[in-house]
Amino acid sequence: MSDHDHHDDEHLREHDRPLSGPALRAKALESLLVEKGLVDPKALDELIDTYETKVGPRNGARIVARAWADPEYKKRLLADATAAIAEFGFIGRQGEDMVALENTPKIRNVVVCTLCSCYPWPVLGLPPVWYKSAPYRARAVIEPRGVLKELGSEVPEGVEVRVWDSTAELRYLVLPERPAGTEGWSEDELAAIVTRDAMIGVAQVNVPERSGL
C-alpha cells in the first residue's frame, strides 16, 4: 500500500501531463521502476558512464594494432578471438563469443545484423545509428558492393566480398588490412588510425596526411 498524495508533488504534476514524447515516457517509467524498487538510478548513471566513457571502438583499435604489430597475437586472434580479446580484458555482454575476420588484398569482410542490431559491444561499444538503420540492414546482404561504394570504399571487381549476418550469439570483428607506410609504428600510433567503420568492414584504414613532421 502506498500513498502518493503528499510527497513529491513535482513528480505527480509530471505524470498528470499527457506523455507526449519518448523522453517523458522514459522518465515516467524510470520513476515508476525506482518507486517499485526495481532499479537504482545511481546504477543507471554508472551503466551510462560505462558506455559513454569506458567501452568503445578504442578497445577494438588496440586489438587490431596488436594483431598488426605482433604476428603471434594475430595467429591467436584468428584462431580463437574470444580468448585473444580477453587478454586485454575486453569481455562480457554482447561479446561473449567473438570471431575475427581478416581482410586481405583478395577478401573484404563486412558485418551486419539484418534481424536486429547485434554488435560486439566490448570491443566497439554501442552500435552507431547507421548500423541499426533499415537501409544498412536491408542492403548490406543483397548489395554490399553498392553500399561500400556509396560509403566511399569501392571494392575492385577482382576482390571477394564476404558479408557476415550476425544471426546468433557470435560477434564479429573485422581485422582490416594494415596500410602501407606504417612500418615501424608503435601500437599506440597504429591504434590511433584504426576506425570503428573499418572494424565493421565498411571502410579501410588509411594513413592520414601528417604535417609538421
Name which of residues 147 to 176 contact other proteins (CB under 8 A): 147, 150-151, 158-170
For residue 79, state whether it binds other proteins (rule: CB under 8 A): no
Site string for other proteins, 89-128 (x = CB under 8 A): --xxx--xx-x------------x-xxxx-------xx-x
26 binding other proteins? (CB under 8 A): yes
| Catalytic annotation present for 133 | no
Q: Considering CB under 8 A, how many residues would be counted as binding other proteins? A: 79
Residue 204 interacts with other proteins (CB under 8 A)? no
CA-to-CA distance for 195 and 203, rounded, in angstroms?
Answer: 8
**Binding to other proteins by residue 78, rule CB under 8 A?**
no
- 153 catalytic? Reply is no
For residue 9, the tally of other CB atoms under 10 A from its CB is 10
Which listed residue (42, 209, 210, 211) binds other proteins by CB under 8 A?
Answer: 42
Determine whether 116 is an active site residue. yes
Angstrom distance (rounded) from CA 115 to CA 132? 10
Instruction: Tell me the C-alpha distance between 53 and 143, whole Å.
Output: 35
The answer to the question of residue 192 lying near other proteins (CB under 8 A) is: no
Q: Does 52 bind other proteins (CB under 8 A)?
A: yes
Using DSSP, how many helices (H) and how many strands (E) does the chain show?
Answer: 12, 4
User: Which one from 20, 31, 116, 186 is the annotated catalytic residue?
Assistant: 116
> Strand ranges (DSSP E) for 103-204?
107-112, 160-165, 170-175
Phi, psi of 98 (to 5 degrees): -105, 150
113 is catalytic: yes
CA-wise closest residue to 187 among 15, 55, 69, 97? 69
| Contact call for residue 201 and other proteins (CB under 8 A) | no
Out of 69, 73, 102, 141, the residue judged to bind other proteins by CB under 8 A: 141
Q: How far apart are the first and last CA of the chain?
A: 71
Active site residues: 113, 116-118
